[in-house]
Amino acid sequence: MITPTAWPAETIWEQVYSLLPDFTVEVLPEIDSSNSELMRRARAGQHEPTLLVAERQTAGRGRMGRVWQSQPGDSLTFSLSLPLTPQDWSGLSLAVGLSLAESLHPDVGLKWPNDLWFQDRKLGGILVEAASMGGRSQVVVGVGLNIRPRASDGLNTPPAALTELLPELTAPAALGAVAWPLIQTLKAFEAQGFAPLQKRFAARDVLQGRAVYTSDGQQGVSLGVGPGGALRLQTELGVQDIHSAEISVRPKT
């Protein structure tokens, strides 16, 4: 693997330019939250597609309000803002996770709805937000990936690191690997939704066939995800489809 020593901003811009001529790449040494910044811009009427990389976040956010700690070199944290108008938003975070996993390593698994896992430990997470202003819809996709091993203090799930799979990997190299495929995936999702990705997601689904429990008190066996991205749960009351991304799902140990 060729490991770049600097952020591949120009290379990514060159890959994306023909599809999104007004696309920009920004790398900031420190910010509160890359997602918060791009959401602020979207609400202010700035709709240019933007990839914003934060070397350090002071108030990084994960799903359900969780804090995502970010230090230079230890993790890759970035957000991508795109005008997006899919017919159905269902399954978007699953599509993002699948794109990232496929770009990184065959052993990266996916835990519904938006976590990347390795050996039942968390490699990374995804936060998807949307803003609508003046009839225009803007999606902001935030990604946090553990590059190097990190402490597990205060975490519900033990962390894993991508350098366990790719020992020479750096944050810039990871960004170079995932950015362009992610944009292509988002544009394909806009046109076709999640259904064409269902089988590929199933191949990496770390919950399928396992006994799980949910944060709202349900228990059962995961049957995988449906064509709309819902988690299908076999319970004593029958098969339940879980759509809400506000529900957390964990395998039973």
Tell me the H-state helices in the chain.
Answer: 9-16, 34-43, 92-104, 171-192, 198-202
In the set 41, 111, 122, 204, the catalytic residue is 122
- Active-site residue 199, yes or no? no
Would you call 250 helix, strand, or coil by DSSP? strand
Which residue out of 56, 66, 148, 250 is catalytically annotated?
250
The residue annotated as part of the active site, out of 63, 136, 187, 210, is: 63
Is 250 considered catalytic here? yes
Q: Buried (b) or exposed (e) across 18-56, using 16+ Cβ within 10 A?
A: eebeebebbbeeebebbbbbbbebbeeeebebbbbbbbb
Tell me the C-alpha to C-alpha distance, in Å, between residue 4 and each of 75, 93, 122.
15, 28, 25
Q: Which residues are catalytic?
A: 63, 122, 250
